[in-house]
Each structure stands twice: as structure tokens, then as C-alpha cells.
């Protein structure tokens, strides 16, 4: 690899590492997760999180990504509880 190629690789690596740390996560490493879902599901989600008279202070209000992040965290927690229950069972 020539010198320019190495410089570009180092520059790209530095910027990709920077993208993995998001200030909203208090410096914790992050990763992008792209999901494909039915349009009908997106419409229902948008309707719910952007509802007039909704709770503007809720972190999910108008924020699909935060809704999905919280949904994943809640689902993982439920699954882990079920596994612990079965193992103790």
C-alpha cells in the first residue's frame, strides 16, 4: 500500500471510530442498526410518536430511533427474565 493509501485508510478509520461514539450515549460505543419493516408499521409508529397532545418530554416523542432503541432494550430484558425463569424452573 502506498503512503497516500495508508493515510486515507488511517483517516477513514479515525472518522469511523468517531462515528461509533455518540455524545448522547455518554461516550459509550455505538453502532448503526438498519431495519426494514412494512410501511403500515412505520405509519402506525409515526402516528403514535407524533400524536398531537402527546408528551413532548418523552424521549421517543417524534424520534423513531429512540423508540426502536427502547423497544429493543425492553424486549431483551423480557427475554432474559424468561430465560432465567426457565433455567430456575
- Tell me the pLDDT tens digit for each residue of 29-68: 888 899 999 999 999 998 888 876 667 777 788 888 888 9
3-class SS letters over 35-65? CCCCHHHHHHHHHHHCCCCCCCCCCCCCCHH
Do 26 and 39 have their domain in common? no
Do 26 and 48 have their domain in common? no
pLDDT, tens digit, for every residue of 11-29? 554 555 555 555 577 778 8
Phi, psi of 88 (to 5 degrees): -70, -35
Instruction: Please give the pLDDT value at position 20.
Output: 55
d(CA 77, CA 49): 22
Do 27 and 38 have their domain in common? no
Instruction: Please give the pLDDT value at position 86.
Output: 80
Domain count, the chain: 2
Range of 48's domain?
A: 34-89
d(CA 4, CA 22): 29
Do 52 and 89 have their domain in common? yes
From first CA to last CA, the distance across the chain in angstroms is 58
Instruction: Please give the pLDDT value at position 73.
Output: 93
Do 87 and 47 have their domain in common? yes
Do 60 and 89 have their domain in common? yes
Helix (H) or strand (E) holding 9, with range, is: helix 3-19
Amino acid at each position: 500500500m502506498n503512503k497516500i493509501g495508508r493515510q486515507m485508510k488511517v483517516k477513514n478509520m479515525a472518522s469511523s471510530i468517531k462515528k461509533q461514539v455518540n455524545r448522547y450515549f455518554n461516550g459509550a460505543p455505538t453502532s448503526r442498526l438498519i431495519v426494514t419493516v412494512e410501511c403500515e408499521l412505520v405509519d402506525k409508529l409515526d402516528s403514535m410518536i407524533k400524536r398531537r397532545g402527546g408528551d413532548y418530554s418523552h424521549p421517543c416523542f417524534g424520534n423513531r430511533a429512540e423508540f426502536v432503541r427502547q423497544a429493543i432494550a425492553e424486549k431483551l430484558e423480557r427475554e432474559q427474565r424468561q430465560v432465567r425463569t426457565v433455567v430456575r424452573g
